[in-house]
Amino acid sequence: MSDSDHQRTVNATRTSFTVVEALAEREDRVGVTQLASTLDIPKSTAYKHLTTLCELGYVHKEGRKYELGLGLADLGESARTRDPLYGTAKSHVDRLVSVTDQPAGVVVERRGNAVDLYRAWPTNRPAAHGTNSRYLHCSAPGKAILAELPDDRVAEIIDRGLPTKTDRTLSTPSALREKLDRIAERGIAFERGEQREGRRAVAVPVVRNERVMGAVYVAGSTDRMKSKRFEEDIPGIIISTVNRFTSDI
């Protein structure tokens, strides 16, 4: 597959994005040599692509080190707000935040990872940004989506590994599969400190035409989400919210 595809695709584009992705994964800035060696490509090639990406504004050069450029922020915003779920779910997420006085959001899946389309926080108690897991298996919205995904897709994702984030993370295929069955039955997913100690969440998948579009969640610290509120009230609110806008997509 790759051999025939390579014939009809642009290799240079691929390497350029490999460079960008490498920069995205690193926390710190990085030099040409370092980047080239981690990607196992010649220095000069890395340099040429970095220069090109700089010129386009998607990579930023600070001194002799490179990092992600803000051009990507523009593109990313365009991509997020373009998704059909964004437009329909946004106002409902906002209302969830008001009603529950807790952070809420809407998540979609792409290539086995969770992507936040939109999230909002209660004003006086803003939560951390960018801390949500990219992994599906250890978050409420991720599991809600997984439970609705076709079996072969789930298998693919499981095969890529189930990293352990806390000691409650479901990191074996069998444990995860069993949980997903229960989630599919009930139509709701819970997260109890599986991606971060002290964090809880409830999520409901958004299904349309038998395809899962994403999931809506409400999150919060364990002390704000316990017993009936966590297990019944908030689930009920989310379910009715999702029902409401699933019909009028």
Nearest to 190 by CA among 131, 232, 241, 135: 232
Give the interface segment with its own copies, choosing from 33-41, 73-81, 204-212, 222-230 (CB under 8 A).
73-81
Residue 222 site contact among its own copies, DNA, none (CB < 5 to 8 Å, cut-off depends on kind) = none
Q: Are 101 and 218 in contact (CB under 8 A)?
A: no
- Residue 52 buriedness (CB in 10 A; 0-12 / 13-18 / 19+): middle
Q: Is 98 in the site for DNA (CB under 7 A)?
A: no
Q: Is 57 in the site for its own copies (CB under 8 A)?
A: yes
Q: Is 98 in the site for its own copies (CB under 8 A)?
A: yes
Instruction: Out of 41, 68, 99, 207, point to the residue binding DNA (CB under 7 A).
Output: 41
The residue assigned the tokens 């340099």 is: 47
Q: What is the dihedral angle through the alpha carbons of 110, 114, 116, 119, rounded to the nearest 10 degrees?
A: 150
Q: Is 104 in the site for DNA (CB under 7 A)?
A: no
Q: Is 17 in the site for its own copies (CB under 8 A)?
A: yes
What would the DSSP string read from start to end of 108-159?
EEETTEEEEEEEE--TTS---SS-S-SBSTTSHHHHHHHHHS-HHHHHHHHH
Binding residues for DNA, per CB under 7 A? 8-12, 15, 31-34, 41-45, 47-49, 64-65
Binding residues for its own copies, per CB under 8 A? 5, 8-14, 16-17, 20-21, 24, 48-49, 51-53, 55-58, 67-83, 90-91, 94, 97-98, 101, 108, 110-111, 113, 115-118, 120-124, 126, 129-130, 134
